[in-house]
Amino acid sequence: MTALSVNINKVATLRNARGGNQPNLLEVTKDLQRYGAQGITIHPRPDQRHIRYEDALALPEVVQTEYNIEGNPIPEFTDLVLKIKPTQVTLVPDAEDAITSNAGWDTLKHKDFLKKSIKQFKEQGIRTSIFVDPKLEMIEGALETGTDRIELYTEAYAAGYETDREQAIAPYVAAAEKAVALGIGINAGHDLSLANLAYFAQNIPELLEVSIGHALICESLYLGFENVIPMYLQRLAH
């Protein structure tokens, strides 16, 4: 079964909007796991506008499932991850001022950089994943980096889902089949939601994990975490 990892960046954004410690990130993390989340994801950015480095360091106290840290492997990020040793590190090619992740790695152009970064993490027993677009050449390039997994960037799928879901998912199916053939594990994230997740999960072979934050938090404003987490798990149980 595909694991659900909840990205809690938006919880930190809400906390930071007023200062103080409401909502309490650690308490929310405990509750999400109690409601069924099988992993916790964070993406600390250099300006620490949502998740702070101190949050990343505190979370191992309460994460009882898998702990996934996303980010661009600049020196500060790399040092943080190597200190924490989470279950998984997901490398994302964000510019420092990016509002959100908006593209996957060019695994051919950045092969040597990724290979070096991935080697550092794997030597410390950290599972590695890299953020990629659903392009066959990028999947083939990922193999050369030594990564354990890829994370498929799902913005194009989400954008095309309502208009033509079969066409929207086709490149993701092809990319996933290529990854399976090459022995690379498959994660997905960024634009999945209650509306489009079930179809994606039903059609992507050997999907190991989905990481979902923005949509899940938005849906939970209306329905509550206690209801939304089981709804996501139901959509993954195909």
Q: At what angle do helices 136-145 and 111-123 cross, to 10 degrees?
A: 50
Q: How far is CA 209 from CA 66, 75, 102, in A?
A: 11, 27, 19
Give the residue numbers annotated as catalytic, written as ranges: 43, 70, 190
Phi and psi at residue 4, to the nearest 5°: -105, 115
Please compute, for residue 59, the number of CA atoms within 13 A of its CA located in the half-sphere on the CB side.
Answer: 34
- Separation of alpha carbons 64 and 43, rounded Å: 18
119's enclosing H/E stretch is helix 111-123
What are the backbone dihedrals phi and psi of residue 99, each rounded to the nearest 5 degrees, phi first? -70, -45
Neighbours of 17 (CB within 10 A): 9
Among candidate residues 71, 55, 51, the one with its CA nearest the CA of residue 63: 55
**Angle subtended by helix axes 9-18 and 214-223, to nearest 10:** 70
Cβ atoms of 45 and 96 closer than 8 Å: yes
Round to the nearest angstrom and report the end-to-end CA distance of the chain. Answer: 8
CA distance 126 to 128: 6
